[in-house]
Structures are given as C-alpha cells and as structure tokens.
C-alpha cells in the first residue's frame, strides 16, 4: 500500500462487524470514521455488533483539532436547488448514444489523472449560491465559464439568477419539478435564451424577476447547442440493480474529451436523524475536507445537489477505481481546511470550494449528466 493512498487509522481492536463497516465507508482518517459513526445511529439495528459509542470514544484522542471545532460550530446555510426525483419520472433504459454501452463499469483501466482545473483556479474564483436554491444554474454555468477561460484573464462570471429564471419559465414546467430545477431544463433554457453576464443581471436579483432587455441581449450570443445530456432518472434504493450501468464511465469519457460535466445527485442521511440533520455533503468532515461521504445502506435520500466535475483521480482503493473532482457552489465556506499541507492520503482536494466524490457514488446515484459540445 502506497503512502499516498494508505490509511491513517490507528489500531482500534476492531471486531469482524466493525472491520466490515470500515470497509463499507472506505474511511482512511480518524475524523472520517468518526463522522460516519456519528451520522449513523441506525447501526444499532442494522449492525448491532458494531460498538458505535465505544468506537467513537476510542477515536476521540486521534481526532484533529479542526474536526473537533467544526462539530461545535453552527452549520452554514448551504443552498441546494435540485429536488429528489419522483419515481414516475423514471426513463426507459439507456439510449443508443449512452457512451458507456458495452464498456466495463469499473474505471481501473484509467491509470492517468484527468485535470481540467489545472492552474486556472486563481483566475476563476469559486462562486457561492448562499442559501438560495440555485445549484443547478451554478453547475451548468460553470461548464460554460470554463470554456471561456483565457490565460491571464480568467473568465466572465455568468448570471445564475438569469438562468434560474429562464429555466423555471420554460413552458409546461419542463425545466423543474415541484421542488427544484432540472439540468435538462437548464440545458433547454441555455439553448433558447443563452446566459448573460452577472455584471448585467446580478445573482442577487429575485429568482422570479423578469430579466431586463439588456440581459436578454447580452445572453443571446451564448446560446448553446449540441449538448450532451442524459436523464438517468430518480434514485431508488430498491431499484439499484436496474439502474443504467456506466454513469461514472460516461462522466470520465466526457472529461477525457476536455468537457466539464454537470451532474445532479441526491444527498443522504440516516433516517433516525432529525429532519433538519446534516447530510453526507454538510457533515463536519465534508465541510472541512470537501470529501463527500459515501452513501451507506442505512441512509435515505434527504435532498439533492448539482455540481460541476472537472477531473478524475485514479485510486486503486476506491470501489470503482477513482474520484471525481468537484467544483461546488458554496464558495470558500466548504472544504475550509484545504489546501492541506498533509497530502499523504488520497483523494486530493486542491483548494477551498472544491471537493471530491467517489466514482462509486456517481455510478450508483447520479440522476442527470450534462456537458457542452
């Protein structure tokens, strides 16, 4: 096991059930394992041989000061904006243009890293949607902003409030569910109206405000066409075996073609936690590190999020062979401990506002996949 991918967990005297739990979580750090244990009170009934309280106590001396402090802080107001899908929206099987047809689900054949972010993050500051439900337009806009990056000049910030309003205004409610927007709707709105600059129509504008004539005029040259878009459908635990195979492979193929990818994906939490509890994206460890916690079988979906993916890091210890690099829309309030000088444990998060999600979670949970031509 290499120093880069090795575990930093201390000797804990685990029993067989506890080793199985660690294997399911793929936890490599004391903070991370503690986070999974704290977030899963259902272990008492799903795995009674896991000594949850005892293990948390055993880990306490090894917890970082940053993690201890984060557990006591008020949770920031992170906006979402992608709603969990209804089962009635389930599409048929994958279409003929699904890039993963006939290809292996595992990504272990991809030995090289893919990095579309590179040195551009200083020129392209992360955006912050605040507490508003705007993750879908932020994720879609990130794909377009990346395409216009110019060395030494950065990119023009695009208006997510404009794209949100135009998506929600599509005829017949085509751009949204009752609870949030869809990436497919954002793609349709971008093809129909384009996207204006935030300097013309600010992201602080009311989401139901009709954009100005100047905003429409500025948006028109950015109309998009020829996008890649697939609607995998709602996440349903009981139907995981029937899901389209190859979501992670499809995302990787787009990244290899130098195309940033926007996805929508559910968030998860333990059903024994209160309704306003943290989820696998807002847990203290995720807030510090940007590492999205794996979905555990004990957890149910609790909401949804949309992000832009900008890279891939091979890792033989991850279930399908690697991690995808996230550009989030929660500003520098997420992954607040990055960049970390201790990079001995994979995966690597390059800066605040970025993160990683496992190929396994993309494969099992992604609901929509979108990329520009």
Do 53 and 97 share a structural domain? no
Last residue of a domain, one of 6, 37, 72: 72
113 is a domain residue: yes
- Residue 212 inside a domain? The answer is no
State the average pLDDT over residues 163-184.
79
Mean pLDDT of 345-362: 93
Domain check: are 147 and 65 in the same one? no
151 and 20 in a single domain? The answer is no
User: What CA–CA distance (Å, rounded) separates 206 from 223?
Assistant: 23
The answer to which of 72-76, 105-109, 157-161, 348-352 has the lowest mean pLDDT is: 72-76
> What size, in residues, is the chain?
373
pLDDT number for residue 3: 33
- Domain with 354 in it: 87-155+225-371
In degrees, rounded to 5, the angle at the alpha carbon of residue 285 between the alpha carbons of residues 57 and 110 is: 120
- CA angle at residue 118 from 115 to 119, to 5 degrees? 175
The last residue of one of the domains, among 72, 95, 118, is 72
- CATH (domain of 348): 3.90.70
**234 falls within a domain:** yes
pLDDT band of residue 343 (cuts 50, 70, 90) is: low
260 and 333 together in one domain? yes
pLDDT above 70 covers a percentage of the chain that reads 92
Same domain, 302 and 327: yes
Q: What is the SS3 assignment for the chain?
A: CCCCCCCCCCCCCCCHHHHHHHHHHCCCCHHHHHHHHHCCCCHHHHCCCCCHHHHHHHHHHHCCHHHHHHHHCCCCCCCCCCCCCCHHHCCCCCCCCCCCCCCCCCCCCCCCCEECCCCHHHCCCCCECCCCCCHHHHHHHHHHHHHCCECCCECCCECHHHHHHHHHCCHHHCCECCCCECHHHHHHHHHHHCCCECCCCCCCCCCCCCCCHHHHHHHHHHCCCCCEEEECCCCCHHHHHHCCCCHHHHHHHHHHCCCCEEEEEEEEECCCCCCCCCCCCCCHHHHHHCECCCCCCCCEEEEEEEEEEEEEEECCCCCCCEEEEEECCEHHHCCCCCCCCCCCCCCCCCCCCEEEEEHHHHHHHCCEEEECC
Whether 53 and 149 share a structural domain:
no
Q: Name the least confident of 12-16, 51-55, 144-148, 271-275.
A: 271-275
**Lookup: tokens for 41:** 């009170």
HSE (CB half, 13 Å, CA atoms) of 343?
Answer: 8
- pLDDT for 4 equals 34
Check residues 173 and 239 and name the one with the higher pLDDT.
Answer: 239
Please indicate, yes or no, if residue 50 is contained in any of the structural domains: yes
Share above pLDDT 90 across residues of the chain, in percent, rounded to a whole number: 73
- Could you tell me if 273 and 362 lie in one domain? yes
Same domain, 281 and 363: yes
Average pLDDT over residues 175-180: 60
The whole-number pLDDT of residue 85 equals 52
In a domain, 170, yes or no: no
Residue 162 placed within a domain: no
For residue 138, pLDDT beyond 80 = yes
Rounded-to-integer distance, Cα 197 and Cα 222, Å: 10
Average model confidence (pLDDT) across the chain: 90
Chain segment 239-282, per-residue pLDDT in tens: 888 899 999 999 999 999 999 999 999 999 999 998 778 999 99
The answer as to whether 103 is a domain residue is yes
Residue written as token pair 């595992």 = 106
Tokens 């384009």, residue located:
194
Looking up tokens 């899963």 gives: 40
The total number of structural domains in the chain stands at 2
Q: Quick one: 123 and 254 in the same domain?
A: yes
Q: Are residues 282 and 367 in the same domain?
A: yes
51 shares its domain with 97: no
Same domain? For 34 and 97 the reply is no
> pTM for the whole thing?
0.93
First to last CA, the chain: 39
Would residue 220 count as lying in a domain? no
């Amino acid at each position: 096991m290499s120093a880069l991918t090795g575990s930093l967990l201390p000797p804990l005297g685990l029993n067989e059930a506890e080793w199985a739990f660690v294997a399911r979580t793929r936890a490599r750090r004391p903070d991370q394992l503690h986070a999974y244990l704290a977030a899963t009170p259902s272990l008492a009934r799903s795995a009674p041989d896991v000594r949850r309280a005892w293990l948390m106590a055993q880990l306490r001396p090894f917890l970082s000061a940053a993690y201890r402090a984060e557990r006591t802080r008020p949770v920031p107001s992170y906006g979402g904006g992608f709603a969990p899908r209804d089962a009635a929206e389930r599409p048929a099987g994958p279409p003929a243009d699904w890039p993963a047809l006939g290809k292996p689900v595992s990504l272990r054949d991809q030995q090289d890293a893919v990095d579309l972010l590179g040195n551009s993050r200083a020129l392209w500051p992360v955006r912050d949607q605040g507490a508003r439900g705007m993750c879908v337009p932020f994720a879609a806009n990130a794909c377009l902003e990346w395409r216009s990056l110019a060395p030494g000049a950065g990119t023009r910030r695009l208006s997510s409030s404009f794209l949100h309003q135009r998506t929600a205004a599509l005829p017949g409610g085509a751009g949204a569910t009752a609870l949030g927007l869809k990436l497919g709707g954002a793609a349709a709105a971008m093809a129909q109206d384009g996207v204006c600059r935030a300097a013309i129509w600010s992201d602080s504008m009311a989401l139901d405000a009709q954009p100005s004539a100047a905003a429409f005029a500025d948006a028109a040259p950015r109309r998009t066409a020829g996008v890649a878009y697939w609607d995998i459908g709602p996440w349903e635990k009981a139907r995981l075996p029937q899901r389209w195979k190859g979501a992670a492979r499809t995302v990787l193929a787009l990244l290899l073609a130098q195309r940033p990818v926007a996805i929508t994906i559910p968030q998860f939490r333990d059903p024994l936690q209160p309704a306003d509890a943290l989820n696998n994206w807002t847990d203290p460890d995720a807030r510090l590190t940007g590492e999205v916690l794996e979905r555990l079988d004990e957890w149910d979906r609790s909401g949804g999020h949309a992000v832009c993916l900008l890279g891939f890091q091979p890792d033989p210890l991850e279930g399908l062979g690697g991690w995808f690099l996230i550009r989030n829309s929660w500003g520098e309030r997420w992954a607040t401990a990055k960049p970390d000088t201790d990079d001995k444990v994979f995966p690597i998060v390059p800066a605040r506002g970025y993160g990683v999600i496992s190929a396994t979670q993309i494969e099992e949970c992604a609901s929509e996949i979108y990329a520009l031509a």
